[in-house]
Amino acid sequence: MIRVDVEEERKEILKRYRRLLRVAKPLLKSGDAKLIKRAFNVSSEAHKEMRRKSGEPYIYHPLEVALICVEEIGLGTTSIIAALLHDVVEDTDMELEDIERDFGPKVAQIIDGLTKISGVFEYGSSQQAENFRKMLITLSDDVRVILIKLADRLNNMRTLESMPRHKQLKIASETKYLYAPLAHRLGLYSFKSELEDLHLKFTDKETYEFIINKIDETKVSRNKFIKTFIAPIQVELDAQNFKFNIKGRPKSIFSIYSKMKKQNIPFEEVYDLFAIRIIIDTPLENEKADCWQVYSIVTDFYRPNPDRLRDWISTPRANGYESLHTTVMSQTGQWVEVQIRTQRMDDIAERGYAAHWKYKEKENSPEKAAGGLDEWITQVRTLLENNDGSAIEFMDDFRGNLFQDEVFVFTPKGDLKVLPFGATALDFAFEIHSEVGANCIGAKVNQKLVPIGHKLKNGDQVEILTSKKQKPSEDWLKSVVTSRARAKIKDALKEEKKQYILDGKEIVQRKLKQMKMEFSSVVVEQLRAFFETKTTTEFYYKVGRGIIDPTSIKGFKEFKQQKKLKKNTMIQVTDESSFTKEIKNLKGPEHDQLLIGEDMDVVDYILAKCCNPIPGDDVFGFVTVNEGIKIHRTSCPNALELLSNHGNRVIKARWTSQQEIAFLAGLKIVGTDRVGLISDLTKVISNELKVNMRSITVDSDSGIFEGTIKLYVHSTNHLDNLIENLSEVQGVLKVSRFD
């Protein structure tokens, strides 16, 4: 029987390999197919004993990653070989030297960038952040490292179903936190949308399926609407001899979800559920004029919303995206987003940076489109060169570089500068020159004097005012968003800061010696957490500056002693693997998760105050440095960062159906004001459902009532029941939970 299975698998592997070759054929030069075959054979041999969590042969994964590289990004032979071999160094006995000997230095360099760092990490550091930094160092030499990594991540997300729940949360959060913004920054919109959708699928399945069902339910009427909407436009485009293609597509599930959450509205009220895309085939020199001609045709039939016109043809986005967007009113009273672009622009929008290469190779390509991306990669390189802090600090700076929106501002001479959304006059000053930034005392925006922290808007004309006496201060970091400005300010502060850090470290060493405590990375990490600082250098700096009083370190010792007394009876854990081992020893081999409400006598855990989880909420446990295990909701505002940077400290946790305990929850109520409304609300809460309230605040303005109530409930079912009953009170329009 197994013989047949092995035979079937062999056939399936060959089938997938042949498909890869078929798709890649148009991109291959002579001799390339032989190299790909050799890489496939090496990978098959190296992974032959390995299987994925789903039980499938491991070789399916490199084959799928290579296929994504070709089919969905448009990469060539070097990338196919690197994708087929991307896991062999990490997972098998093969060394980078073997790869370099057989496939050349370029492939070896890319694989090195994709190989995780092994070894022991200092306590309190983040393995994910260190690996991410390593991968980005290679980005500055070869952007294909990131493109293959994104293909690898996309395949992992598509096959995440077979992973255990806590791993799903970790991988999905890391994807949303870093890889989706990275795909956006490299112009891979289809990647970005799918990664965000899959993140939602594995972190909030209920909402994901609800939106999918709603989209399916409205499919027939939507298609009918699109057909009617585009009919007159098609007739006119034909009459004017345009070569074109029109697509109607629904917005991504995640963008619909974001809108519902941001605006606190139901699915039915999301007005722009889909966009119409008009793609025209026209020569490069006519692109701009023809796109505006199509815009003119669309607006002859439908009235545009003047506030919703986006012209990314005259000024492309920093990631090279070019398109003309307008929102128009249809005959049925619905707003519809229309995107107008050429075939070249669509190719770049779908395939991002890889398509830029293709167009840059053509002599008459528009350099401006790729310029923004090349500039960004130069910025990343600068960031890497200047960064000697922790990997987590670097990740924070880098994520600040993945801004989704830009503002276009002008110098006094009329030169255009593109800055991230939220950029200030000080960011602009550093964009001009680091010395201009360091001496900046203010600015004139559209001839008006403004402070350095003034946020810039599209079209502002900015003149920077300087003084030789001015020098950067710590507060400046709060007034900038660009990594360039942050890096330059940090550089200026570094020398002064270095001395404070050294003084702080000396004081801490002295204090610990006086208290007969060991000075080690574990103790320092505990001190950092106790004083709620982000990094150990920040902790030393605050001690050196006197912001943290050295005598208060005594309080840490007392805290440790109390913890020790409490912990004598508790199991000791530092990460997920130590927790699983201890709980299995204590409660039997089938126990691998924390049971909330049952394990209090053996595990030190508390409910996180940032999201106040209640029974029924989807939760995870997080091993902290000082406060045992904290239970967070998977939708907690801090979940994304914890799961992305410290996945090894995430443990499985679930509620037990034990005796009812009261948990704090918050409700927001909106309605029309009337006499007796509060009395009716409190009756429902106290009398009907016997719920205790902690506080109620009410604000009434022009007949609109807004109130927040904090109350104690037993579970999500109890809370849902309460929301339902409150919604039925006369005058109440909306009841929703808040963190």
Tokens describing residue 75: 């990469």
Which residue of the set 90, 161, 300, 405 is catalytic?
Answer: 90
Q: What are phi and psi of 241, to 5 degrees?
A: 60, 35
CA distance 151 to 168: 18
DSSP 3-state assignment of 234? helix
Please say if 90 is a catalytic residue: yes
What does the pLDDT read at residue 365?
43
What does the pLDDT read at residue 301?
94
The ranges of the chain with pLDDT < 70 are 1-4, 116-141, 353-405, 556-574, 583, 585-588, 590, 598-602, 626, 657-662, 687-691
CA distance 479 to 499: 24
Which residue of the set 7, 8, 45, 91 is catalytic?
Answer: 91
What does the pLDDT read at residue 418?
80
Q: pTM of the prediction?
A: 0.71
Among 185, 193, 130, 195, CA closest to 157: 195
Which residues neighbour 460 within 8 Å (Cβ) at sequence distance 6 or greater? 407, 409, 410, 445, 446
Q: What is the pLDDT of residues 200-254, one digit of tens each?
A: 999 988 899 999 998 888 888 888 888 999 999 999 999 999 999 998 877 889 9
All domains in the chain, ordered by first residue: 2-211 (1.10.3210.10), 216-366 (3.30.460.10), 373-490 (3.10.20.30), 491-567 (no CATH), 576-655 (no CATH), 663-738 (3.30.70.260)
What does the pLDDT read at residue 512?
82
Please say if 91 is a catalytic residue: yes
Among 385, 300, 398, 284, CA closest to 344: 284
∠ CA 105-381-125, nearest 5°, is 90
CA distances to 193, 209, 413 from 251, rounded to whole Å, are 9, 15, 40
Q: What is the pLDDT of residues 531-566, one digit of tens each?
A: 778 788 888 888 888 888 877 777 766 656 555 544
What does the pLDDT read at residue 270?
77
